Amino acid sequence: MSAAAGGEAPGPPSGFAKRVLVTGGAGFIASHVIVSLVEDYPDYMIINLDKLDYCASLKNLETISNKQNYKFIEGDICEPHFIKWLFETEKVDIVLHFAAQTHVDLSFVHALEFTYVNVYGTHVLVSAAYEARVEKFIYVSTDEVYGGSLDEEFDESSPKQPTNPYASSKAAAECFVQSYWEQYKFPVVITRSSNVYGPHQYPEKVIPKFISLLQHNRKCCIHGSGLQKRNFLYAADVVEAFLTVLKKGKPGEIYNIGTNFEMSIAQLAKELIQLIKETNSESEMENWVDYVDDRPSNDMRYPMKSEKMHGLGWRPKVPWKEGIKKTSMF
Ligand SMILES: NC(=O)c1ccc[n+]([C@@H]2O[C@H](COP(=O)([O-])OP(=O)(O)OC[C@H]3O[C@@H](n4cnc5c(N)ncnc54)[C@H](O)[C@@H]3O)[C@@H](O)[C@H]2O)c1
């Protein structure tokens, strides 16, 4: 573990209204959240805890890395003694827990690693946060905990029926987090979001993968039929959602962070081919697509209702055409 932040010694400097611990902050979504928090909340100290796994990059945070209200600490959520020390020294008020193993394909191969990091690591973190009497603990989960559906729209009370090791580990971690509310009224909040896209996403995920393949004149590889549909939210909209939950999310509650905008993977490939290869010819587009074996399980859709988030005043704003253009130019 190492602290790397403008020479600041361990321990909380005085003068910050809140001290927010963001885990996994060198990853895709949390890095966007940290940049917004550091810029928009100068009276909050933002502490980024990340073990710098293969998908992490501190470059995502270059614009704010020298700010007085930001600190990076390299470390692992699966190390209880270190995590206890962190809460003792940093006097954390709020936790936003993003750190996880996140790639569904890898979860079929390294399932136990997903259980270890996502379930055990989350338990270590929530337990230490409880001991430290943190005032709010936000656990970032996923729509995948619902399993797939063709027409039923999931709301927050729908049963969890995960169908892959990644989703199962996120669902199991939710149970541990929720149990701290049930047992102790420890103020936890759980979010379940749709697929997120935008700049800085590691190119193992479908949108940056297809963009990167096409930019290197290689074909988009589509799992199975390509008819599976996914809801896509732009990163800036998701940042707004987390800031809303931070301010207004109620203890013990679960919030779906979703969008009605959905697209099949085959259609996604088509749109990216049009954008990057600048063609509308159907036969030319077919040349940029390769159908490969499907995953052991691949849910058809994750339709979700997000009325609870709408009730807090959040709605996604960035249109797909604008978001995907910004993402592909990055
Ligand atoms: N990307 C999506 O579309 C999406 C959708 C819904 C929910 N989520 C959830 O949002 C969170 C962030 O997703 P992402 O796509 O930005 O992830 P990511 O893979 O880009 O980043 C994960 C980060 O966690 C860090 N990390 C991993 N294990 C760690 C450990 N043991 N200790 C400390 N840090 C560790 C990694 O180094 C990395 O920086 C995850 O919890 C994920 O389940 C993601």
Q: Tell me the pLDDT tens digit for each residue of 9-49.
A: 455 556 899 999 999 999 999 999 999 999 999 999 999 99
257 near 301, Cβ under 8 Å? no
**51 Cβ closer than 6 Å to some ligand 1 atom:** yes
Is there a contact between 45 and 16 (Cβ–Cβ < 8 Å)? yes
Buried b (16+ CB within 10 A) or exposed e, 181-193: beeeebbbbbbbb
For the whole prediction, is pTM greater than 0.85? yes
- The rounded Å distance from CA 15 to ligand 1 centre is 30
- Residue 219 domain flag: no
The pLDDT assigned to 1 comes to 45
Q: Tell me what percent of the residues of the chain surpass a pLDDT of 70.
A: 96
Q: Is residue 220 part of a domain?
A: no
Mutate to test the pocket of ligand 1, among 31, 96, 102 (most ligand atoms within 8 A of CB): 102
Q: Is the pLDDT of residue 295 over 90?
A: no
Question: Which atom of ligand 1 sits closest to the CA of residue 56?
Answer: 39
Q: Which band of pLDDT confidence, cut at 50, 70 and 90, is reported for residue 148?
A: confident
Q: Residue 249 falls within a domain, yes or no?
A: yes
In this structure, is residue 292 part of a structural domain? no
Whether 78 lines ligand 1, by a CB cut-off of 6 Å, is: yes
Does ligand 1 lie within 6 Å of residue 142's CB atom? Answer: yes
| Known active-site residue 174 | no
Secondary structure letter of residue 59 according to DSSP: G
Q: Is residue 275 part of a domain?
A: no
pLDDT tens track for 96-130: 999 999 999 999 999 999 999 999 999 999 999 99
Residue 94 has pLDDT above 60, yes or no: yes
Q: Which residue in the list 50, 90, 93, 144 is annotated as catalytic?
A: 144
Q: What percent of the chain has pLDDT over 90?
A: 88
Predicted local confidence at residue 13, as pLDDT: 53
- Asked if residue 149 belongs to a domain, the reply is yes
Over residues 217-255, the pLDDT tens digits come to: 999 999 999 999 999 999 999 999 999 999 999 999 999
Overall number of domains in the chain: 1
Separation of alpha carbons 209 and 198, rounded Å: 12
Residue 311 alpha carbon to ligand 1 centre in Å: 27
The alpha carbon of 29 and the centre of ligand 1 are apart by a number of angstroms equal to 7
Domain-embedded: residue 128: yes
Q: Domain range spanning residue 112?
A: 2-197+233-260+303-317
The better pLDDT of the pair 134, 148 is held by 134
Q: How far is the CA of 101 from the centre of ligand 1 (A)?
A: 6
| pLDDT level of residue 329 (50, 70, 90 thresholds) | confident
**Would the CB of 55 count as within 6 Å of ligand 1?**
yes
Q: Indicate which CATH number applies to the domain containing 133.
A: 3.40.50.720
- Give a yes or no: residue 135 inside a domain: yes
The pLDDT confidence band at residue 6, using thresholds 50, 70 and 90, is very low
Angle at 265 between CA 260 and CA 268, to 5 degrees: 80
Mean of per-residue pLDDT scores for the chain? 94
